[in-house]
């Protein structure tokens, strides 16, 4: 069966499948169906049709494959940032040990320099 090219499904079914794959993160299924002019009952009937569910599964797979490079890139940037933060932490920790500061004294000095004496955990600036 040629589900990738929509074998045996209607244009409105293709429209709904496309809308599902490109919807906003906070959009609901009811919202998508309403936007496409499809009732929940009609959609429920489509879910009993293997052609539609196959097309939907293929569309989801294509959407995931298309997003994979962007997700991998974002994860890579996060990992690099985390490594940089860890390096900075250990550099500061090493400097504090070398300077003879320990405990909160060294961290408090750094926090004072960065935040002007306010503790960012307090939520005040």
Q: Is the pLDDT of residue 53 over 70?
A: yes
Contact 36, 19 (CB under 8 A): yes
Q: Is the pLDDT of residue 73 over 90?
A: no
> Which stretch, 37-41, 62-66, 104-108, 117-121, has highest mean pLDDT?
37-41
- The 10 Å CB-count burial string (b at 16+, else e) for 89-121 is eeeeeeebeeeeeeeeebeeeebeeeeeeeeee
Residue 47 tokens read as 């879910």
pTM over 0.95: no
Question: Which of 61-70, 78-87, 110-119 has the weakest average pLDDT?
Answer: 110-119
Task: Output the CA torsion sign for 44, 46, 49, 50.
Answer: negative
What pLDDT, on a 0 to 100 scale, did the predictor assign at position 36?
96
What residue segments make up the domains of the chain, in order of their start?
11-117
Neighbours of 29 (CB within 10 A): 13
What pLDDT, on a 0 to 100 scale, did the predictor assign at position 1?
41
Arithmetic mean of pLDDT over the chain: 80
What pLDDT, on a 0 to 100 scale, did the predictor assign at position 99?
67
């Amino acid at each position: 069966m040629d589900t990738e090219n929509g074998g045996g499904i209607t244009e409105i079914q293709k429209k709904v499948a496309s809308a599902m794959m490109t919807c906003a993160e906070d959009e609901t299924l009811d919202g998508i169906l309403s936007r496409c002019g499809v009732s929940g009952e009609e959609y429920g009937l489509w879910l009993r049709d293997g052609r539609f569910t196959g097309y939907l599964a293929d569309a989801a797979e294509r959407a995931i494959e298309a997003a994979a490079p962007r997700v991998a890139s974002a994860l890579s940037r996060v990992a690099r940032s985390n490594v940089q933060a860890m390096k900075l932490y250990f550099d500061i920790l090493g400097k504090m040990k070398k300077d003879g500061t320990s405990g909160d004294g060294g961290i408090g000095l750094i926090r004072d320099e960065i935040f002007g004496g306010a503790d960012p955990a307090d939520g005040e600036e």
